[in-house]
Structure 1
Amino acid sequence: MSPAPPPGGKFEPLEAGRGRIGLLARPQSNGLDQALAAVTDFAGEHGLTLVPDPELASRPVASRLGLPSPGVPLVEAGAELDLLVTLGGDGTLLRGARAVRTAGVPVLGINLGHLGFLTALGAEEVEDGLQALLEGRARLDTRFTLEGRVIHADGRPGARLDALNDLVLHKGGVARVVRLGLFTGRDGDRDEIGRFSGDGVIVATPTGSTAYSLSAGGPVVAPSMECLVVTPISAHTLAMRPLVLPFDETLTIEALDRVEELVVTADGQTGIELAPGDRVRVGRGNTPVRLVRFPGQSFFGTLRRKLNWAV
């Protein structure tokens, strides 16, 4: 079993003249040019090196702002970065967090989207936020992650998926219900949770409990906790409800009928099609994600402000 992730703590100040910042953006985001200009201006004033990913480096705005080209894939640059800045929404942050997770790079999200629940800054706060990082006025929020593994019908391990928000098993193609079985424990020592018919099942982290799982009727879980949130999607029964499993538990999901086009997706971005007889084993991820937060920011404050919780 993986060791507990280190607790969140103070962000080590960026060192002027030496800090290296990775950049990842959603090119279609409104306000990207202005936000990116604010980042590049600040970096130039303080001697910080910017490392854009190749997609961003290929954009005309990157050339106008003098960003290096052709850029460096984040999975390669991660070990040399002091910080990753994502410009977009939660989807962009999730993509960046998965790319640098093994290097332990802190992630700062700048929201150019609609909700931006995981991001820490708005477009108008870029300069103040970066200044706070230089002065050490920021902290790290360590987030629990998931690791999913496909197990083939003959017992061989298959593809692996890592997620900060959730892993979702669902039917692809034509809409129809699928019968699923949920089990805890490993092969040879499994305990059946239950069986149900529905559109699929979500296994979320506490971070992901306010995303797809919430829309499907799952509970809100404070992100400082470590657990697996299991939420059926449109279960065709009145007796199946979401449940929360301890962080050290292993969950196995199996299709009880021969089903074509069954898919498992990570954070709504990467997916794997399952073969008949495949099952999915989900447990705690080996590498937590560290998100940058600033004074005055809190989970419940964000919940009230962005999701109208208890307002």
Structure 2
Amino acid sequence: MLTKVIGILVNPRKKNIDRLVRKLDDWILGTAPPADFRICTYDSPYIKNNFRKIRTQSDSEIFKDAELIITLGGDGTLLRTINKMKRFDIRMLGVNLGGLGFIADTPPDKLTDHIQNYLEGRFFIDERSQISCYLPETDKKFRAFNDIVIDKAGFARVIQIETHIDTEALNNYIADGLIVSTPTGSTGHSLSNGGPIVAPGARVFVINPICPHSLTNRPVIIPDDMKLKIVVYTEADSFNIYRDGTEQGSFPSGTLMELKRSEHTVKLVKMEHQRFFSVLSKKLHWGEDFRNKNRWTYKKI
């Protein structure tokens, strides 16, 4: 029986990470779980590499061999790791050392418990879709887990974004930009831009204009088996394209983009209590009463 390889990739900017890695190393030493643990610290100045049971490797070596990759950081760390992946059978578990932690939702104090659950088969796979983007003029290709964003690149005036769904014209947006998000990305940038929250199992994309110059331009949800063609026009020298918050470059006016559902999905490891709607209501504090009832002035008559 082959030993499971569990990779650990860290955010090297997190100052509070060494204690967590030491605790994990001690747990492995004390319990001897049936797995080979390997870590890429990205030369973090906050981590001392004198581990007893965890082997230090490059991220490329970990991507090659790992069955499960654990990210220590937050949602951004998990996104950057997913965008580096070349294999899509790898399972992902995100530990939140940051703020919201919506997709990287394992608390640090539950890390070893969740690893034990994984090794004992007490988990489920939450499979998430991605967007594929192709730019024919430059033959540039990339995919996004959360969203692809068209941005006017600091230019003071709006840009023009011509959109077609398959062969049918959708809209000619006059706006600051456009967000095309997966269901996973619907709780990110798109949500802050007034977009809807979409359950991750829905096979759709959200098309959401940024500050459109018309009150009739609202977010549109389309099936993800349809292809989206976008042509961007600007009076400036160029506009920018971002995927999952990372700039992919500046492109000239008239650039054509072709977006569709990626053939590759991402497999998130979740514990039974980490179902989407329970996490959603917890992270967004739904159902909580923030009112200070001591200040109420109602009096019985």
Normalised TM-score (structure 1): 0.85
Match of 1:178 in 2: 159
Q: Residue 221 of structure 1: CA displacement?
A: 0.3
Q: Residue 308 of structure 1: CA displacement?
A: 2.4
- Structure 1 residues 50 and 270 mapped into 2: Cα distance closer, same or farther (>3 Å)? farther
Match of 2:37 in 1: 50
- For residues 294 and 50 of structure 1, the distance between their equivalents in structure 2, rounded to whole angstroms, comes to 20
Whether the 8 Å CA contact 2:75–2:104 is kept in 1: the answer is yes
Match of 2:85 in 1: 100
Q: Which of residues 196, 208, 212 is equivalent to 1:219?
A: 196
Q: Which of residues 117, 120, 126 is equivalent to 1:141?
A: 126
**How many residues align structurally?**
285
Alignment map for 1:63-74 (pairs within 5 Å): 63-66=49-52, 67-69=54-56, 71-74=57-60
Amino acid of the structure 2 residue aligned with 1:218: G
Whether the 8 Å CA contact 1:78–1:103 is kept in 2: the answer is no
Match of 1:3 in 2: none
Q: Which of residues 165, 180, 193 is equivalent to 2:146?
A: 165
Whether the 8 Å CA contact 2:180–2:206 is kept in 1: the answer is yes
Kindly name which structure, 1 or 2, has the bigger radius of gyration based on alpha carbons.
2
- Secondary structure of 2:42's partner? helix
- For residues 152 and 124 of structure 2, the distance between their equivalents in structure 1, rounded to whole angstroms, comes to 40
Report % sequence identity: 31
Whether the 8 Å CA contact 1:145–1:163 is kept in 2: the answer is yes
Mark the runs of 5 or more structure 2 residues left unpaired by the alignment.
Answer: 289-301
Alignment map for 1:8-19 (pairs within 5 Å): 18-19=3-4
- Secondary structure of 1:241's partner? coil
Indicate whether 1:293 and 2:278 are aligned: no
Q: Residue 77 of structure 1: CA displacement?
A: 3.4
Alignment map for 1:16-55 (pairs within 5 Å): 18-44=3-29, 45-46=32-33, 48-53=35-40, 55=42
- Secondary structure of 1:64's partner? coil
- Farther-moved stretch of structure 1 (118-127 vs 168-177): 168-177
Mark the runs of 5 or more structure 1 residues left unpaired by the alignment.
Answer: 1-14
Deviations 1:211-244 (A, max 9, x none): 0000001110000111111110111111100001
Whether the 8 Å CA contact 1:84–1:106 is kept in 2: the answer is yes
Alignment map for 1:277-292 (pairs within 5 Å): 277-292=254-269
Q: Residue 50 of structure 1: CA displacement?
A: 2.4
Whether the 8 Å CA contact 2:88–2:265 is kept in 1: the answer is no
- Secondary structure of 2:49's partner? helix
- For residues 288 and 196 of structure 1, the distance between their equivalents in structure 2, rounded to whole angstroms, comes to 30
Q: Residue 304 of structure 1: CA displacement?
A: 1.1
Normalised TM-score (structure 2): 0.88
- Structure 1 residues 167 and 127 mapped into 2: Cα distance closer, same or farther (>3 Å)? same
Deviations 1:107-142 (A, max 9, x none): 000100010000131011112111111211111100
- For residues 4 and 37 of structure 2, the distance between their equivalents in structure 1, rounded to whole angstroms, comes to 9
Whether the 8 Å CA contact 1:35–1:123 is kept in 2: the answer is yes
CA RMSD of aligned residues (A): 2.0
Match of 1:192 in 2: 169
Amino acid of the structure 1 residue aligned with 2:165: T
Match of 2:209 in 1: 232
- Structure 1 residues 259 and 232 mapped into 2: Cα distance closer, same or farther (>3 Å)? same
Q: Residue 54 of structure 1: CA displacement?
A: 6.0
- For residues 260 and 241 of structure 1, the distance between their equivalents in structure 2, rounded to whole angstroms, comes to 28
- Farther-moved stretch of structure 1 (40-49 vs 27-36): 40-49
- Secondary structure of 1:260's partner? coil
Amino acid of the structure 2 residue aligned with 1:107: M
- For residues 221 and 73 of structure 1, the distance between their equivalents in structure 2, rounded to whole angstroms, comes to 32
Indicate whether 1:112 and 2:89 are aligned: no
- For residues 23 and 270 of structure 1, the distance between their equivalents in structure 2, rounded to whole angstroms, comes to 25
Amino acid of the structure 2 residue aligned with 1:282: L
Q: Residue 181 of structure 1: CA displacement?
A: 1.0
- Structure 1 residues 23 and 175 mapped into 2: Cα distance closer, same or farther (>3 Å)? farther
Q: After the TM superposition, list the runs of 4 or more consecutive aligned residues in structure 1 that deviate by more than 4 angstroms.
A: none
